[in-house]
Structure 1
Amino acid sequence: MARVSQQHLDARRRQILDGAAVCFARNGFHATSMQDVLKEADLSAGAVYRYFSGKEELIAAIVGEVLDAVREAFEGAAREDPPQPPDVLVGAVLGRTLAMKAPLTVDGEAAFPRLIVQVWAETIRNPELAATLRDGYAAVGAAWERVVVAYQDAGMMRADLPAEHVARTMIAAVQGFVAQQPLLGPAPVEVLQNGLRALMSMTPPRAADLNGSRHG
């Protein structure tokens, strides 16, 4: 019997994960059956179950893959001296993450934002997935904290505020931007970048300006 190459195995696993992601984004986890995944991936049950025992493993694999990619990107950024400013860095990492899943669509729109919303909703009832997500975000948060410390060490950011708080805020900005997509419609990463640039450009108003606005 011919030996199956690792490249073939990896491609088959990718095919299964992409098919499952589209199904979950389209109908949610509970309305999606393994039969739906088989049909979307165009594979037999034996081919799929060779890699994954069921939906729970598929969900965990999809989530882990995305979080690992984000963590690696931020860890790489933390090694730069100094790191790119937040608007550039967030745009680069988010753009790369969205590009990973760009080929996956549902009704002509990107499947990834819809999938992310489904994952967050599923954590309410699925403690194992919630634990996977917490661990993944903890790793991402730790990588972001190292970036923030590098900003502070380089004099690019106030050093009197906890790095953890800044990291959580930046993660929240990215999460919120992704969550808006299914509700408000697709928006390019530049929208988030421009918003961050505007916030980063703020300066305290002068006392004279404040007095003028109060008496005007």
Structure 2
Amino acid sequence: MSPKVTESHKEQRRLSILNAAKEIFAKKGYEAFVMQDVIDAVDLSRGGVYSYFSNKEDLFESVLHSMNESFRDGIERLAHTDSIWQSLSNEFESFKEIEDKQDSFTAVQIEFFLINRRVPEKAAYFKNRYKYATDQFVWLFQQGVEKGEFQPRYPVEAIARYYITFNDGIHISTIFVSKQDIDYNQQIDLFLSQLAYMLGVKQK
């Protein structure tokens, strides 16, 4: 009789597949990735991997979902810091230390989105992803208002969309050109200045 596999162990297996898949996607790209890649990378049979994920698309979307959960946890941590604004600023300042081309997974996401942008069934998926991100930042900025840190000059939803547009745009740019080419550090400084104005950050 085979030993019973606990739910905790199943979840660990699932996470190990997701972590391996994310690295392989980042290295090979979405289109070049095949399920055999992750089967070879983890200590599971083909049937074992397919018992968790039905195909490449399912696996990739599960990686994105896992990243969404980490993103949500990060937003919650920001909300519970002594200064939401200082914590946000520190995050963007840390981006300056990331080397060119280091964030290779961004390129894979763009590849996936472009491949599926004409698939009617994906329209709701992409819309929901954008709404999810917007809602997270709206909630975070509202926490800042409640804490007395922010006095927004614009609707917080508009500010959240501005935030997402800048963040996505600057990281997409670094897929194709160097940070030096776009004057990355100055762009970050300008963005933080504008964001502080929009949010009405109270100066201490």
How many residues were matched structurally? 188
- Give the residue type in structure 1 aligned to 2:47: G
Equivalent position to 2:124, from 128, 131, 138? 131
Contact 1:25 1:118 in 2 (8 A): no
Partners of 2:24 and 2:118 in 1: CA distance: 19
Q: How does 1:92-171 map to 2 (within 5 A)?
A: 110-152=103-145, 156-157=149-150, 159-171=152-164
Q: TM-score, normalised by structure 1?
A: 0.66
Corresponding position: 1:62 with 2:86:
no
Partner residue, 1:9? 10
Match of 2:170 among 148, 173, 177: 177
Displacement, 1:172? 1.8
Tell me if the contact between 2:30 and 2:108 (Cα under 8 Å) persists in the aligned partners.
no
Letter in 2 for 1:88: N
Shift of 1:13: 1.4
State the Cα deviation string for residues 50-105 of structure 1 (Å, max 9, x = none): 1111112112101111122212322443355652344235567x79xx9xxxxxxx
Q: What amino acid is aligned across from residue 165 of structure 1 in structure 2? A: A
Gap change, CA 1:132 and 1:90, over 3 Å in 2: farther
Whichever residue aligns with residue 161 of structure 2, its letter is R
Unpaired segments of 5 or more residues in structure 1? 99-107, 205-216
Residues 85, 149 of structure 2: 8 Å contact kept:
no
TM-score, scaled relative to structure 2: 0.70
1:47 offset after TM fit, Å? Answer: 1.2
Q: 1:29 to 1:198 in 2, by over 3 A?
A: closer
Look up the match of 1:36.
Answer: 37
Greater C-alpha radius of gyration: 1
Equivalence for 2:202: none
Question: Conserved in 2, the CA contact under 8 Å of 1:141 and 1:164?
Answer: yes
- Distance, in Å, in 2 between the alignment partners of 1:71 and 1:127 is 27
Kindly, what percent of the aligned residue pairs are identical? 25
Shift in alpha-carbon separation, 1:143–1:89, aligned structure 2, 3 A: farther
Structure 2 partner of 1:88:
90
Q: Deviations over 1:161-181 (max 9, x none)?
A: 111111011112221233234
Find the aligned partners of 1:156 and 1:84 in 2 and give their Cα distance. Answer: 8
Change (3 A) 1:46 1:77: same
In the TM superposition, residue 129 of structure 1 has moved relative to its aligned partner by 4.7
Q: Which runs of 5+ in 2 are unaligned?
A: 198-204
What is the RMSD of the two structures over their aligned residues, measured on CA atoms?
Answer: 3.6
